[in-house]
Amino acid sequence: MTNRKSVWFEETGRKLDPGLVQQLWNNRKADPSETSTNEIPVILYLRRNCNADLKEDLSNTCNSEPHNKLETDLPIIHGMKGHLTPGMIKQIKDHDAVDRIFYDREATSFLDIARDQVGAAEVQKELGLTGKGVTIAVIDTGIHPHEDLTSPSNRIIAFHDFVSGKEDPYDDNGHGTHCAGDAAGNGHLSDGKYIGSAPEASVIGLKVLDENGSGRLSTIIEGLDWCINHKDEHQIRVVSLSLGALAFESFRDDPLSIAVQEAWQNGIVVCAAAGNSGPYPFTISTPAINPFIITVGSVNDQNTLERADDVIANYSSRGPSIDFFVKPDVYAPGTNIIAPLAPGSSLEKQLPEMIVDEDYIQLSGTSMATPISAGLVALMLEANPNLSPNDVKAILKATSEPTLDDTWGNIQGVAAVEMAKNYQEKTPLEAGQDG
C-alpha cells in the first residue's frame, strides 16, 4: 500500500479540461507555491440550472481577490470568460454554478486561377450570379478597406473590433483582408484579374485575432455570438473562419465547436478551415471538428484548370476528426492564392517577396480555400435564398467531384449552383408519395 498523494487538479475528473490541467502543471513547475498569482485565461461552462443568485455568487467569489477576474458573459455557450489563479480555480471548481472549466487557449489564423477552377467564374458569367444581396462575415484579423471591397461601392457594411475596440475597419495582420478578398474581392485594382468567388457580396469584418494572427477561443466565440445577434440586421448568411486551435475534446464539449453549431442552428452557414497540420491523420482543428458545419480542406491545383492533376495540399489537415467523423467535407484551391493586400500589415513586412502588383499578396493554406468556398456558398444562396445550412452542405458534398484520394472531392461551382437553383426540400408527405 502506498501513501502517495495526488495533485488536486489530477483528481477533478471532467471538471477541468486536459488543456487546463496541462497549464496548471506548467504553473506548478514555474511556481510551486499554493499562493501563485499567475493568471490563467479560462472559459467557464455554467450549469444549466444555474440561477442569477448562483452566478452572482460565483462572480463575487472570483472578483473578490487580486489577480482574479471573471469578466465577460458568453451566452452562446452558456458560459463566462476571465482570468483566474490556480488557487481560485481550485476554490470554485466545485461551485454550484460551475459545470466545467476550460483553458482559454490560443487560436491562430491558418496561413486568379482558383476562381475559374471552382467554377465561380462560369457561374458569374453564364448565370449572372455574383453574391449580391448575401452577406459574408469574415471572423479573422480584421479587414482593410481595399478598393476591391470598396469600389465602385463600399461593400464592407459593418466592422467590429474585439481586440482593440477601434471603430473604423483595419487589419494590422493582413490575413483577414486576404480572406475577405478570396470570398468577395471584385478585382477593381487588377482590372478584373484577381476576383473572388462572390464579387458583389457584402462583407463584415470581425477582428478577433491580433496583429500576430493570434487570439483566444473566447474572443472568437464573442464574434460568433455577434453574428447571431446581428444576423437579421445585416442579412448574415455565411460565416468564414480561417482560424482554429488544436482539438483536445469531443465536438460536444469543445467551446468553439459548440459556438459554431449554435450559429449553424440559427440559420448561418459556417465554413471553417480544416487546419494546416497535414499530412498526418487526426489533425483537424477546432472548430472544424464539428460534424454539422462545412470543413474545408485545401488542394494544390498546380495553377491549371485541369482537375486531373489536382492533389490534396501536403499541409492540409487530414481526418478523421477527434470523434472519428469523416473530415474535411469538401476541398477547394488554397495554394498560391493571390488576393488583396493590407498596406502596413505584418504580412506585408514579413513576406515582401509574396507581394504581387503592389496591391495584392500570394498566400497558401486552408485559410484561402475556406473563404473561396464561402463565396461559392453566397452564390448558391443568391440563386436560392431559401436554402438552409443543411441544404447548402448537402448540395456541396453531392456535387463535389471525387477526383481526390479522399471520401469527398473538389467543390464544383456550376453543378452546386444549378442544384441550388432547382432545389426544393420535400416534406415527408411528398417524399412518401414518390414511392
CA distance 393 to 388: 9
Nearest Cα residue to 21 out of 7, 34, 31, 38: 7
DSSP string covering 85-126: -HHHHHHHTT-TTEEEEEE--EEEE---HHHHHTTHHHHHHH
SS3 content of the chain, % helix, strand, coil (to 5): 35, 20, 45
Question: Pseudo-torsion of CA 114, 116, 119, 121, nearest 10°?
Answer: 120
The active-site residue out of 95, 144, 160, 175 is: 175
The single residue of 140, 254, 329, 406 carrying the catalytic annotation is: 140
Select which of 190, 367, 373, 400 is catalytic. Answer: 367
**79-84: strand order across its sheet:** 69-74, 79-84, 40-46, 98-103
| Count of Cβ atoms closer than 10 Å to residue 152 Cβ | 8
| Rounded distance between C-alpha atoms, residue 61 and residue 85, angstroms | 12
Q: Kindly list the distances between the CA atom of residue 382 and the CA atoms of 30, 190, 200, in Å, as whole numbers in the listed order.
A: 55, 25, 11
- The answer to whether 301 is a known catalytic residue is no
Active-site residue flag, 364: no
Cα(392)–Cα(115) distance, integer angstroms: 19
346 is catalytic: no
Catalytic residues: 140, 175, 367
